[in-house]
Amino acid sequence: MKIKIYHNPRCTKSRQSHQLLIEMGVDFDTVEYLKEPLSEKELKAVLSKLGIKAAELIRKTEAIYKEKFKGKELTESEWIKAMLDYPKLMQRPIVICGENAVIGRPTELVAELIK
């Protein structure tokens, strides 16, 4: 089964999940989503695999969230557009294994997904 991690190497939790995949000896693809942003279709597929709404994937601690979105009620489409425009808004890391996915916080979720 092909595994993919949406990774931000500057994020501690993302680095920990990336390292865990290496230590588990699994074959996986790394997508540095800040360098290679997701398309709308890819982001919708990720949300579907995570089983969550777009608003649940938003990092509310990001400066861009506080500046532009805090306190606003956005629709699903508007949150998706916000993440497409500002990929930093996405929670990280996201690990996908087949039709399932987790946000790797804590990294134990990644280990459970792969097993």
Is the Cβ–Cβ distance between 113 and 90 less than 8 Å? no
| Three-point CA angle 72, 74, 42, nearest 5° | 135
**In 3D, which of 52, 35, 44, 40 has the Cα closest to residue 102?**
52
Burial class (CB in 10 A: 0-12, 13-18, 19+), 112: exposed
Query: Which residues sit opposite 90 in a β-bridge?
Result: 58
In angstroms, rounded to a whole number, what is the distance separating the alpha carbons of residues 39 and 83?
10
State yes or no: is 11 an active-site residue: yes
Catalytic residue among 3, 5, 11, 90: 11
Residues annotated as catalytic are 11
